[in-house]
Each structure stands twice: as C-alpha cells, then as structure tokens.
Amino acid sequence: MKSVAIIGAGITGLTAAFYLKRRGFAVTVYEASGRVGGVIQSLRRDGYLAEFGPNTILETSPKIAQLIRDAGLESRRMDPDPKSEARYVVRYKRPIEMPGSPLGFLTTDLFSWKAKCAVLREPFVKPRRDGVEESIGQFVTRRFNQEFLDHAIDALVAGIYAGDPQKISVAHAFPKLKALEDNYGSMIKGQIFGGRERKKRGEVAKDRAPKLSFDEGLQVLPDTLRERLGEAMKLNTTVTKLSRTTNGWRITTSSGESDHDAVIYCGTAHKLAELKIETGSQTLDLSPLSEIRHPPVASVVLGFKREDVAHPCSGFGMLIPKIEGFKILGCIFSSSLFPNRAPVGHITLTSYVGGERYPELASLPHDKLFELTCEDLRLLLGVRGKPTFQHCVFYPRAIPQYNVGFGRFKNLMNDIESKAPGFHLAGHFRNGISLSDSIVSGINVAESLSPS
C-alpha cells in the first residue's frame, strides 16, 4: 500500500487525505496547530453561531456536492434562505441594492448615466492582445470607466481578496474575466455566449453558484473529515524538513521522522517558504514564496436585538468601496443568510477590518475593533444600543494576494514539483483562493496520484 504524507489539515489537505484513504492509500496528515480546518472557524455561543473565516462554500463545481455526499453530510447541509439573495453596495453613505436585471441596472442609483453608458459601450471596446499583464483596476478602467472601478470593483476586490484592485492581477485572480476578453473580445459578450460552454463543463459562474453551509457552520466539514480519517491525523505536528530517499521522502517533524512514498503540501505559502526540501545533493530555495503578500484581516462578529437595527438586513450583505470613507471592508448579514446564526429576535452581522486597504486596523485591540465596527454599522445600518454578542478573530496573514507578477511564484511552484518527484503542492496559494477552489484542488491532487 502506497503511503502519502499530507502537510496541513485545512480544507485542502483534509479533502485530499479523505479521498486518498478511500482509494486505499495509507495516509498521515500533519497539522501544526491543535485543530483542523485552517482558516475555517465556527463558534457556537450564547445562542449565536459565528463564522470568522469563510461564511459559505460556493458550489461552482459538481465536486463540492460529491464531497458532501461522500462525507455523509447531505442531511446537515444548509442552503441560504431564498429571501437572502439581495446584495448591497454602499454609495452616498448608504447601502443600495445591486440591480438584478438589465432594467434594474438602467434605473439604479448606484451608477451615474456615464457609468451605465460605459457598460453599454463595453462590447465595442477593443480587446487588449499585447500580452501585458494588467491589474484588475487597469482592466476595469480600460473596459468600463473609473467610476465603475471606484464604486463597484474596488468593493468586490476588498470583499473577496481583502485586496487592492491596483495590485491584484486580472489574469491570476480573475482568470475567467480575462478569458472572456481573450475568447469573446468582451466581458458582456462572453457572459452571454459563454454560459453554454460552462454548462457543458458542468461549471457554474461564481456570481450564480449556489451558496451553502452546515447546521453548525462550516467547521462541520473539516471536523467530519477528521473523524473519517481517524488515526491518520497528527495534530500539533509541524513539518520542518523533507529529504528525498531512494524510494520516497523522509519527513522531519517537531516530534520525529517518518518515511512516505509521496508528500502533498497543503499548508500556506509563507510556511512553505520556510520549509527545507533536500533532493539528494540539492536544497531547494523556496524563500521567494515569502514575498507573496498576505494582508492581515480581523473578522468581527456582532449580535444585536432585531429592534436595535433600523435596516432590514435581508440579503447577503454589503460591500463598501474605499471612496465611501468607512473603516470596515464589508459586512455579511449572517442571520439573514442562515436564520440559525442568531437567537430569535436577534441578528448577527459579520464585518471585516484591515486587508490591503487598512492593514494597521486589523491588529487593533478587540475593544477598539468592536467600537469602530459599531460606529460604521450605526452610520450604515442604523444600529443602536449595545451588541448582545461580540467576538473577534485576527488573521495575521489572511489571504494570499494574486498580485500582478504572481506568475513568477506559480513558475517557482511548478519548478519545485519538477525537481522533487513525488512532492505535490495544492491549496489556496496556487489554484484559487476560495473554499471551493481549495476543495477542488484537494480532490484533483488526490486523483492525480497513482496507487502503484
């Protein structure tokens, strides 16, 4: 039986280990911390259910439903309340619902006529074919206009990456948008004509993909996979060194050494940069990976009495462009999505602070974070009174930024794999940052290993 070491018990590593075990491999999962799930963190307290990392999985691929089925979690799956579809973007210091139809777009207050005309003109803007890598900011101002960047895309980039649109690469962070321009000459034309091809591949566009969670939050998924893995899990065990042996790899951890036929690294890029990998006479230099930026983010979850919030908060949440001058990056109306996130008569709001926009704010003491979040929510949603629940988690290195130039890191990762046979890399630092990308990456790497 082939033995595989998996480094990291975030969702990528757990998914890979789960499927390898099902295929008959002998797996061992090494996790540096004392818990599974990585950035996924759900907390049940005082009748509230708070999520500090991801809030939902986007079902962009049939592989997500496959994992839920294979893990035996279908009965615990929770789909959001169908009434929670609305999304808001802040403009003129108030949340405005995003239009859901072409007519809604033409009549919304969210954009001026100039911006609306820029969208109507987009199919006639010449595609760029000179191969120069652009930021999403450059791409959007070229194809639409500055207003569209400042009042929509800036907020979206903060909401997904906690990133800076002038730095985030359109090719690496939004490859599907770039492909629309490359293949159809326009994003609007591509949206219209590309749907059929996506359907053929069984894929769903991220903006249309169903969202899901579980009865006790997303932590249910890693906890269940951990149960299925049983003895294979080694918590509080940091892998510090890998050395190539005649038939495979020797792993050095904080508690000793062990030999495996193959190794899959599913940790973080900054920890990978510190890992020592010896392949016979060579030691691989992974240190450039430490240059991948990971801005800090604080997740602030607050509960309020329903009557203490003026806004109905029915919908997914609100995105906040920098130009509007608020400190929080955005807010998810968590108990509108999943009513079991708050006791009856209360609501739960999950806000994010920091990112590339205001990195210095993320590490403020918790009382300051609660204060600044309450102040923004007071102005935006008419929140008054004291929160009935408050909890905050600080992620010092939250999300890898796929900035312009990210290709050199991808090349380095490809190079490492080619110089280190039997050593594989998977996860959010390489194949897309979302939970669904991470799950698919875990499944793909597990399927790529041959049992013989």
Ligand X SMILES: Cc1cc2nc3c(=O)[nH]c(=O)nc-3n(C[C@H](O)[C@H](O)[C@H](O)COP(=O)(O)OP(=O)(O)OC[C@H]3O[C@@H](n4cnc5c(N)ncnc54)[C@H](O)[C@@H]3O)c2cc1C
Contacting positions for ligand X (CB under 6 A): 7-13, 30-33, 38-40, 53-56, 58, 238-239, 266-268, 271, 275, 297, 299, 395, 398-399, 427-428, 433-436, 438
Phi, psi (degrees; rounded to nearest 5) at 250: -100, 130
Residue whose pair of structure tokens reads 């990133």 in the numeric block:
163
Q: State the nearest-atom distance from the C-beta of 232 to ligand X, in Å.
A: 14
When the beta carbons of 31 and 154 are compared against ligand X, the nearer one is 31
- Total residue count of the chain as it appears in this document: 452
Q: To the nearest whole angstrom, how small is the minimum distance from the Cβ of residue 388 to ligand X?
A: 23
Q: Which residues pair with 348 in a beta bridge?
A: 303
Q: In sequence order, what DSSP letters do the residues of 226-280 get, joined into one string?
A: HHHHGGGEE-S--EEEEEE-SSSEEEEETTEEEEESEEEE-S-HHHHTT-EEEET
Closest CA to 346 of 392, 382, 387: 387
Least distance to ligand X, CB of residue 385, Å: 27
Q: Which is nearer to ligand X, 170 or 297 (CB)?
A: 297
| Cβ 102 to ligand X shortest distance, Å | 28
Residue 52 Cβ, how far from ligand X at the closest point, in Å?
7
**Which pairing describes strands 328-332 and 276-279: parallel, antiparallel, or unpaired?**
unpaired
275 vs 412, which CB is nearer to ligand X? 275
The residue among 143 and 260 lying less far from ligand X, judged by its C-beta, is 260
Q: Please, are residues 144 and 115 in contact by the beta-carbon 8 Å criterion?
A: yes
Q: Which is nearer to ligand X, 10 or 321 (CB)?
A: 10
Smallest separation, CB 221 to ligand X (Å): 10
CA distances from 430 to 78, 94, 145, 405 (A): 28, 36, 30, 13
Cβ nearer to ligand X, comparing 38 with 137 = 38
Q: Which is nearer to ligand X, 226 or 311 (CB)?
A: 226
Q: How far is the CB of 95 from ligand X (least distance, A)?
A: 19
Q: How far apart are CA 205 and CA 70, in angstroms?
A: 24
375-379's contacts with Cβ under 8 Å and 24+ in sequence apart are 375/327, 376/326, 376/327, 376/328, 376/351, 377/302, 377/309, 377/328, 377/331, 377/349, 377/351, 379/93, 379/326
Specify whether the CB–CB gap between 29 and 263 falls below 8 A.
Answer: no
